[in-house]
Amino acid sequence: MSEIFIGVDFGGTNIKIGYFDSKLKLICKTTAATKADMGPEAVVDRITQTTKKLLADNNLSAQAIQAVGIGAPGPSRIDEGIIVAAPNLPLFRNVPLRQMLEEKLSKPVIFENDANAACWGEHVAGAGKGVDEMVFFTLGTGIGGGIITNGKLVHGFADDAAELGHIITHPGGRVCGCGQKGCVEAYASASATAARATEAVQTGAKSTLKKLLDEKGEITCKDVFDHCDAGDALAKEIIEGTANALGLLCVDVLHVTGPQRIVFAGGMIAAGDLLLSRIKYYFKQHIWTLKPEPLEICFATLGEDAGIIGAATLAAQAVETKPNG
């Protein structure tokens, strides 16, 4: 009998599912709409059916599964496999996702926070391969992340480690959605970058973004990068602010867990070297002169597959360490 692993990346809009062979090679993947408004039971049903169809298309049954890994949005209780609450999933309150999925599939399910699963994916197969001391940031609507120390994911006491977007880089600054002032997320996330540009234009700053705002009614983070690339001075100033905050963030996390490598992921890294080179520049501006730092700063390489790869790998590792699991 083959021994395969399933990796699930459970998002507010889509669910990605991949099936992996016994050597954890990704064989096939699929995506289904989450339809979170239909409630937890229906969503777990859809994960089950989509998984079974993915396997059937490859002439396999659910019997072939050795274990399933799922990365889900938090806050969650990781050991118990429970989604406590999630901003994009209003119907998911204290949902025992792991247990529900185990009952449907009759297979062991391993539960992890979604950013941690993606972090683990990059660690085993991507930009952090072989790096046992690593910090992982996701730059999207918000800023999230994962931490690896001594080769292991750090969950923290209340499963709220690596809330990296809420490190304060601008004390007393912009109010964050979390209630703190000056979080890096309030400056350097995609939405904060867009918001800072919008506010500047609305308060009279000269920019080619003005016409865009007048016509479209909004400025996106991508617009800011595009206009920066095209030479707009305000857009450049906004991007410099974003990179500056991320450079400071790198200094702060370096001094906590001492990573070998910091890996940035998420939608914003599509900006490429325009962003990466400036993050590195500001890191060098802010870091001490006491001694040279061997820290490497880079972008993730697995794209949207990081979550399913990480989840499947965590599942395989869990059954390895629990032979009867």
Residues at the site binding a copy of itself, with contacts judged by CB under 8 A: 75, 132-133, 147, 149-150, 152, 154-164, 166-171, 176, 178-181, 248, 251-261, 286-291, 293-295
- Minimum CB distance to a copy of itself smaller for 156 or for 325: 156
Half-sphere exposure for 252 (CA within 13 Å, toward CB): 16
Residue 266's nearest CA partner among 313, 304, 309 is 304
- Minimum CB distance to a copy of itself smaller for 44 or for 192: 192
Are the C-beta atoms of residues 134 and 260 closer than 8 Å to each other?
Answer: yes
- Minimum CB distance to a copy of itself smaller for 132 or for 237: 132
User: What are the φ/ψ torsions at residue 106 (nearest 5 degrees)?
Assistant: 55, 40
Distance in Å, CB of 112 to a copy of itself, minimum: 15
Distance in Å, CB of 241 to a copy of itself, minimum: 12
- Minimum CB distance to a copy of itself smaller for 251 or for 316: 251
- Minimum CB distance to a copy of itself smaller for 122 or for 223: 122
C-alpha–C-alpha distance, residues 248 and 101, integer Å: 41
Q: Which helix (H) or strand (E) holds 4?
A: strand 4-10
Distance in Å, CB of 104 to a copy of itself, minimum: 30
Q: Is 65 helix (H, G, I), strand (E, B) or coil?
A: strand
- Minimum CB distance to a copy of itself smaller for 65 or for 248: 248
C-alpha–C-alpha distance, residues 62 and 159, integer Å: 31
Encoded amino acid at 162, one letter = A
User: Phi/psi class of residue 294: alpha, beta or left (left: φ > 0; alpha: ψ in -120 to 50)?
Assistant: alpha
Summary count for the chain: helices (H), strands (E): 10, 12
Distance in Å, CB of 101 to a copy of itself, minimum: 25
Distance in Å, CB of 278 to a copy of itself, minimum: 16
Within 10 Å of residue 46's Cβ, how many Cβ atoms? 16
Distance in Å, CB of 121 to a copy of itself, minimum: 20
Distance in Å, CB of 191 to a copy of itself, minimum: 17
- Minimum CB distance to a copy of itself smaller for 124 or for 148: 148
Distance in Å, CB of 95 to a copy of itself, minimum: 17
C-alpha–C-alpha distance, residues 307 and 71, integer Å: 7
- Minimum CB distance to a copy of itself smaller for 21 or for 79: 79
Residue 29's nearest CA partner among 57, 71, 63, 48 is 57
Q: CA dist 59 to 25, 53, 62, 127, 271, Å?
A: 17, 10, 10, 33, 40
C-alpha–C-alpha distance, residues 324 and 313, integer Å: 18
